[in-house]
Amino acid sequence: MASRRQFSGQQKVQILRRHLLEQEPVSDICDAYDLSPNVFYRWQKQFFQQGAAAFENGRGKLEKNLKKKVSKLEEKIAHKDEVIAEIMQSHVDLKKKLGDL
Protein backbone atom coordinates (compact mmCIF):
# COMPACT_ATOMS: atom_id res chain seq x y z
CA MET A 1 0.00 0.00 0.00
CA ALA A 2 1.43 3.36 -1.06
CA SER A 3 1.73 6.04 1.60
CA ARG A 4 0.02 9.35 1.14
CA ARG A 5 2.11 12.29 0.13
CA GLN A 6 1.82 15.41 2.18
CA PHE A 7 1.89 18.81 0.51
CA SER A 8 2.66 21.92 2.52
CA GLY A 9 0.33 24.87 2.34
CA GLN A 10 2.85 26.72 0.19
CA GLN A 11 3.07 23.78 -2.23
CA LYS A 12 -0.72 23.64 -2.50
CA VAL A 13 -0.87 27.34 -3.33
CA GLN A 14 1.82 26.90 -6.00
CA ILE A 15 -0.16 24.03 -7.52
CA LEU A 16 -3.39 26.03 -7.49
CA ARG A 17 -1.58 29.04 -8.97
CA ARG A 18 -0.59 27.00 -12.01
CA HIS A 19 -4.27 26.59 -12.85
CA LEU A 20 -5.65 29.92 -11.65
CA LEU A 21 -2.97 32.28 -12.96
CA GLU A 22 -1.16 30.33 -15.62
CA GLN A 23 -4.36 28.78 -17.00
CA GLU A 24 -2.86 25.29 -16.98
CA PRO A 25 -5.54 22.59 -17.29
CA VAL A 26 -6.44 20.78 -14.07
CA SER A 27 -5.90 17.43 -15.78
CA ASP A 28 -2.28 18.32 -16.64
CA ILE A 29 -1.58 19.53 -13.10
CA CYS A 30 -3.12 16.42 -11.56
CA ASP A 31 -1.06 14.20 -13.85
CA ALA A 32 2.14 16.09 -13.01
CA TYR A 33 1.62 15.76 -9.26
CA ASP A 34 -0.23 12.43 -9.32
CA LEU A 35 -3.27 14.07 -7.73
CA SER A 36 -6.91 13.18 -7.90
CA PRO A 37 -8.97 16.01 -9.40
CA ASN A 38 -11.20 15.74 -6.31
CA VAL A 39 -8.21 16.61 -4.13
CA PHE A 40 -7.33 19.53 -6.38
CA TYR A 41 -10.87 20.94 -6.24
CA ARG A 42 -11.06 20.41 -2.46
CA TRP A 43 -7.87 22.47 -2.08
CA GLN A 44 -9.31 25.13 -4.37
CA LYS A 45 -12.54 25.29 -2.37
CA GLN A 46 -10.60 25.55 0.89
CA PHE A 47 -8.33 28.23 -0.62
CA PHE A 48 -11.28 30.42 -1.56
CA GLN A 49 -13.16 29.83 1.70
CA GLN A 50 -10.16 30.87 3.76
CA GLY A 51 -8.80 33.43 1.33
CA ALA A 52 -10.32 36.38 3.18
CA ALA A 53 -7.94 35.71 6.08
CA ALA A 54 -5.04 36.73 3.83
CA PHE A 55 -6.50 40.25 3.57
CA GLU A 56 -7.35 40.74 7.23
CA ASN A 57 -3.76 41.48 8.28
CA GLY A 58 -4.43 40.38 11.81
CA ARG A 59 -7.45 42.66 12.26
CA GLY A 60 -9.46 39.87 13.84
CA LYS A 61 -6.75 39.22 16.38
CA LEU A 62 -6.24 42.94 16.99
CA GLU A 63 -9.97 43.45 17.49
CA LYS A 64 -10.13 40.53 19.91
CA ASN A 65 -7.18 41.91 21.90
CA LEU A 66 -8.76 45.36 22.02
CA LYS A 67 -12.07 43.96 23.25
CA LYS A 68 -10.23 42.02 25.95
CA LYS A 69 -8.36 45.18 27.00
CA VAL A 70 -11.59 47.22 27.12
CA SER A 71 -13.22 44.53 29.23
CA LYS A 72 -10.34 44.56 31.71
CA LEU A 73 -10.43 48.35 31.91
CA GLU A 74 -14.18 48.29 32.51
CA GLU A 75 -13.63 45.83 35.36
CA LYS A 76 -10.99 48.12 36.86
CA ILE A 77 -13.34 51.10 36.65
CA ALA A 78 -16.14 49.14 38.30
CA HIS A 79 -13.78 48.10 41.11
CA LYS A 80 -12.57 51.69 41.51
CA ASP A 81 -16.16 52.91 41.75
CA GLU A 82 -16.88 50.34 44.46
CA VAL A 83 -13.82 51.42 46.44
CA ILE A 84 -14.79 55.09 46.14
CA ALA A 85 -18.34 54.31 47.27
CA GLU A 86 -16.97 52.44 50.32
CA ILE A 87 -14.63 55.32 51.18
CA MET A 88 -17.43 57.86 50.80
CA GLN A 89 -19.73 55.79 53.03
CA SER A 90 -16.98 55.52 55.65
CA HIS A 91 -16.44 59.29 55.43
CA VAL A 92 -20.16 60.00 55.87
CA ASP A 93 -20.36 57.56 58.82
CA LEU A 94 -17.34 59.20 60.45
CA LYS A 95 -18.83 62.70 60.01
CA LYS A 96 -22.10 61.48 61.57
CA LYS A 97 -20.18 59.94 64.45
CA LEU A 98 -18.27 63.17 65.05
CA GLY A 99 -21.44 65.21 64.78
CA ASP A 100 -20.49 67.13 61.67
CA LEU A 101 -23.67 66.06 59.85
Q: Is residue 14 part of a domain?
A: yes
Query: What pLDDT does 3 receive?
Result: 65
Give yes or no for a contact between 60 and 54, defined as CB atoms under 8 angstroms apart: no
Q: Is residue 42 part of a domain?
A: yes
Q: Please tell me the predicted confidence (pLDDT) of residue 95.
A: 92
Query: Is 68 part of a structural domain of the chain?
Result: no
Query: 86 in a domain, yes or no?
Result: no
Instruction: Provide the domain limits for residue 52.
Output: 7-56
Query: Structural domain tally of the chain?
Result: 1
Q: What is the pLDDT of residue 39?
A: 96
For each successive 10 residues of the chain (101 residues), what is the average pLDDT?
A: 78 95 96 95 93 71 89 96 96 90 64
Within a domain: residue 46?
yes
- Kindly state whether residue 83 falls inside one of the protein's structural domains: no
